């Protein structure tokens, strides 16, 4: 996986956290740097940790499913991307303005579950995992901190678009992986 491809995956994965950060930004009267740091650390940290866990699980089973790993990657990324698009087109979710661990931990876990499955995919692609998860975490940190500010400044009109974009990116990556393994290109 090239750096460009990893960047695209990182952007796609971070769109849930970006969308939730926009909602958080809507719920506070003034965004402070400590708010941006909190959102960035929670979302970026979990977006880095979950693919690492998924990768470690994937490596354990890689030899058993090496002949169908491209199909697994395609299916996982398509399901994750499809769910992101479905959620974006569904009802509006409400998010409160609290930045306590009790409020942030469930959001961080919820927005990073899909990264666990992507970590399994990264194991099949034999990606150097530590640089990859650090990169994913940093991209999510930056986009989450920015999302908080964007939400506070512009409002909710970009949340659904961000999630739809992230979903499309993940589905496209799954299709690309499948087509490469089937020697289509």
Which tokens hold the place of 27?
């719920």
Nearest to 23 by CA among 141, 144, 136: 144
Structure-token match 């739809």, residue found? 164
If one compares 31 and 139, the residue with the highest pLDDT of the two is 139
Under 8 Å between Cβ of 113 and 84 = no
CA distances from 46 to 11, 76, 126, 151 (A): 15, 19, 21, 21
pLDDT tens by residue, 43-76: 999 999 999 999 998 888 777 766 776 787 788 7
Q: For the chain, percent helix, then strand, then coil, each to nearest 5? A: 85, 0, 15
Q: What is the mean pLDDT of residues 39-43?
A: 96
Structural domains of the chain in order of their starting residue, each with its CATH number: 3-181 (1.20.1250)
Please give the radius of gyration of the chain, using alpha carbons only, rounded to the nearest integer. 16
Nearest to 74 by CA among 181, 155, 184, 183: 181
pTM, two decimal places: 0.73
pLDDT tens by residue, 116-167: 888 988 888 888 999 999 999 999 999 999 999 988 887 656 667 767 876 7
Q: How far apart are CA 157 and CA 118, in angstroms?
A: 28
pLDDT tens by residue, 81-91: 787 788 778 77
Q: How far apart are CA 174 and CA 78, in angstroms?
A: 6
């Amino acid at each position: 996986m090239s750096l460009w491809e990893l960047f695209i995956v990182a952007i796609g994965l971070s769109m849930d956290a970006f969308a939730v950060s926009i909602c958080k930004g809507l719920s506070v009267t003034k965004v402070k740097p400590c708010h941006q740091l909190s959102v960035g650390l929670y979302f970026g940290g979990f977006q880095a940790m979950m693919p690492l866990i998924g990768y470690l699980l994937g490596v354990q089973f890689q030899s058993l499913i090496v002949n169908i790993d491209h199909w697994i990657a395609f299916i996982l990324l398509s399901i994750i991307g499809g769910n992101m698009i479905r959620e974006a087109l569904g009802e509006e979710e409400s998010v409160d303005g609290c930045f306590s661990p009790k409020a942030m931990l469930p959001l961080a876990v919820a927005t990073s579950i899909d990264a666990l499955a992507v970590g399994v995919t990264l194991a099949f692609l034999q990606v150097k995992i530590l640089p990859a998860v650090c990169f994913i975490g940093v991209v999510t940190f930056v986009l989450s901190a920015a999302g908080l500010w964007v939400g506070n400044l512009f409002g909710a009109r970009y949340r659904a678009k961000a999630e739809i974009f992230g979903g499309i990116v993940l589905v496209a990556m799954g299709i690309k992986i499948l087509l490469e393994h089937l020697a289509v290109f």
